[in-house]
């Protein structure tokens, strides 16, 4: 997962007005969300641009998909579930009263996430694990489920959200690129992470390999950058130039426009670098987010 700043998206001209009218038609029951789906489908290009065609949830490249615009809060009948203790499966649970969808969010720009089919749609992988966000939207406190826009603020979603500055940082990865929870079992963070890993298919062989191979390209650059930084401190006259060159390469791997990067994973590795005390530039490179 990577952080996506969705505060300024280049939306098509006149989209806000079309969305407002579509929202009115949906809430008045004149048309269904599916009949109005073209309104959010046209945003696919601008959402994709924010991550250079990579899924905001899992960071895999999305080649072609008609359904790449995910509603973070579902527009249709909402489902919830419970993760089995061993993390192997999600058991569906009833919501009472039945929730027919966050219809007031159906055309809200803040609610859209660019998503691959693995993350967005219910499916079974070859290894038999089921996942996919679909209409699942579990809450930490089910009793605070919102049935109108006014009460939405009290909800604490279980699913990690790439558009929240801190959510993606909750994920940890082992040396094989597999995501895991570093928090005590059963805590709020732990539940969010383990549920999200399962529901969004984040622990998948192809993804783990992708993270690993990305790091195999970044780590030699990191090693060289550290080397030239120490050389700088030692007064080597060519060190400043070489340090800046290597730093520039690292920045390329942290740039959302890089089509080959797993930014969330690279940032995690840098944030947890054990040499950070003698290499303060790592924190500067990571910036505030």
Sort strands 90-93 and 80-83 into parallel, antiparallel or unpaired.
antiparallel
Min CB(172)–Zn ion separation in Å = 18
Q: Residues 6-42, buried b or exposed e (16+ Cβ, 10 A)? A: beebeeeeebeeebeebbebbeeeeeebeebbebbee
Note whether 116 binds Zn ion by CB under 5 A.
Answer: yes
- The contacts of residue 161 (CB under 8 Å, 6+ apart) are 72, 113, 167
Q: Which of 119, 160, 193, 247 binds Zn ion (CB under 5 A)?
A: 119
Sort strands 172-173 and 179-180 into parallel, antiparallel or unpaired.
antiparallel
Helices then strands, counting H and E runs in the chain, come out as 9, 8
Q: What is the per-residue binding string for Zn ion in 44-73, x denoting contact by CB under 5 A?
A: -----------x-xx---------------
Distance CA 53, CA 64 (A): 9
Q: Between residues 22 and 214, which has the closer beta carbon with respect to Zn ion?
A: 214
Min CB(1)–Zn ion separation in Å = 9
Query: For Zn ion, which stretch binds (CB under 5 A), given 96-104, 106-114, 119-127, 253-261?
Result: 119-127
Q: Between residues 203 and 246, which has the closer beta carbon with respect to Zn ion?
A: 203
Query: For Zn ion, which stretch binds (CB under 5 A), given 28-36, 68-76, 115-123, 159-167?
Result: 115-123
Q: Between residues 58 and 171, which has the closer beta carbon with respect to Zn ion?
A: 58
- Site of interaction with Zn ion (CB under 5 A): 55, 57-58, 116, 119
């Amino acid at each position: 997962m990577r952080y996506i700043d969705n505060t300024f998206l280049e939306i098509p001209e006149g989209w806000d007005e079309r969305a407002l009218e579509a929202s009115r038609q949906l809430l008045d029951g004149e048309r269904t969300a599916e009949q109005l789906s073209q309104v959010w489908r046209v945003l696919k290009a601008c959402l994709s641009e924010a991550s250079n065609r990579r899924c905001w949830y899992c960071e895999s490249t999305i080649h072609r998909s008609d359904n790449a615009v995910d509603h973070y809060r579902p527009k249709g009948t909402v489902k919830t579930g419970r993760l089995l203790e061993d993390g192997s499966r999600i058991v569906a649970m009833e919501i009472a009263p039945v929730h027919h969808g966050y219809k007031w969010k159906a055309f809200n720009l803040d609610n859209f996430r660019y998503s691959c089919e693995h993350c967005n749609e219910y499916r079974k992988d070859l290894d038999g694990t089921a996942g996919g966000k679909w209409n699942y939207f579990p809450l930490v406190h089910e009793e605070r489920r919102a049935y109108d826009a006014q009460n939405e603020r009290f909800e604490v979603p279980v699913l990690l959200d790439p558009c929240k500055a801190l959510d993606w940082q909750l994920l940890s990865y082992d040396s094989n690129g597999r995501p895991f929870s570093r928090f005590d079992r059963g805590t709020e963070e732990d539940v969010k992470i383990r549920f999200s890993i399962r529901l969004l298919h984040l622990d998948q062989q192809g993804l783990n390999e992708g993270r690993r191979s990305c790091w195999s390209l970044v780590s030699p650059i990191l090693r060289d950058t550290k080397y030239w930084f120490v050389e700088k401190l030692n007064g080597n006259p060519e060190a400043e130039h070489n340090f800046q060159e290597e730093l520039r390469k690292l920045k390329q791997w942290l740039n959302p426009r890089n089509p080959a990067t797993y930014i969330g994973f690279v940032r995690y590795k840098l944030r947890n670098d054990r040499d950070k005390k003698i290499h303060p530039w790592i924190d500067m490179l990571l910036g505030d987010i």
